[in-house]
Amino acid sequence: MSKNKVKFGLKNVHFAKMIVSEEDGSISYATPVRIPGAVNLSLDPQGDKADFNADDVVFFSDYANNGYSGDLEVAKIPDEFLKEILGQVVDTNGALIESSEDKSSKFALMFEVNGDVNAKRVVYYNCSASRPKAEASTVGETKEPKTDTITITASARSTDNLVRASLEPNEKNQTVYDNFYKKVYEKNGTASV
């Protein structure tokens, strides 16, 4: 199969709540949940450059990999994300309640970016998210939808230092690729769910 020359688009955004075992600290994930209405994702690499000078030149230069940070914009953050990841609760009347004592959870962020040949599927393993900004406006001559944006920080997973994985389909991995959103992909993963 050919490789992509360009990339465009964003779709199939999912989140999967991280579950950390109290016994041994191992990490697993809940079943991925779709976040419909993906508009934009922009994650910038984090980490400073370190230069070491010797012999009157830059003798060694490297960048620290501190993950990524940026924004995810969607049509509307689903209530399931607000409950599972941001720790909000539903009361007996069905009202979604936000409290200053809400406990947020880590999660995996999964999505797909199209290319000229194949769609690439991506997972960031250890993410945290901000609360979405509250925004509304009156309807004028046209109805212009407002979007929700959350700030996401993706860092290395504590158990194995993995930050992210990306997968394009080929003859060997087609089944794994097809099942990508059924569970969080793990290094050298198989298609079993």
Query: What Cα–Cα distance (Å) separates residue 4 from each residue in 45, 117, 162, 178?
Result: 22, 5, 24, 18
Instruction: Mean pLDDT check: name the lowest of 38-47, 55-64, 101-110.
Output: 55-64
Q: What is the pLDDT of residue 1?
A: 54
What is the gyration radius of the CA atoms in the chain, in angstroms? 20
What b-and-e string marks burial along 111-148, b requiring 16 or more CB atoms within 10 Å of the CB?
Answer: bbbebeebbbbbbbbbbbbeebeeeeeeeeeeeeeeeb
* Mean pLDDT score, 113-121: 84
Region 77-100: what's the mean pLDDT? 96
pLDDT for 2: 64
Flag whether pLDDT at 63 surpasses 70. yes
Average pLDDT across the chain, whole number: 90
Which distant-in-sequence residues (6+ apart) come within 8 Å of 155 by Cβ?
Answer: 46, 66, 67, 126, 163
Percentage of residues in the chain with pLDDT exceeding 70? 94
Q: State the pLDDT at residue 191.
A: 58
pLDDT bin (cut points 50, 70, 90) of residue 61 is confident
User: Residue 33: how many CB atoms within 10 A of its CB?
Assistant: 18
19 touches 27 (CB < 8 A): yes
Residue 107 has pLDDT above 90, yes or no: yes
In this structure, what token pair is assigned to residue 117? Answer: 């040949």
DSSP 145: -
Q: Name the least confident of 99-113, 132-146, 151-165.
A: 132-146
Q: With a threshold of 0.75, does the pTM exceed it? A: yes
Query: Which whole number is the average pLDDT over 49-57?
Result: 83
| Coil/strand/helix, residue 84 | helix
The mean-pLDDT minimum among 23-32, 135-144, 179-188 falls in: 135-144
pLDDT attached to residue 51:
83
The yes-or-no verdict on residue 189 having pLDDT over 90 is no
Torsion angle of C-alpha atoms 4, 125, 179, 190, degrees rounded to 10? 100
Reported as type and span, the H/E element at residue 174 is helix 174-178
Q: With residue 80 as reference, give the H or E element that holds it.
A: helix 79-84
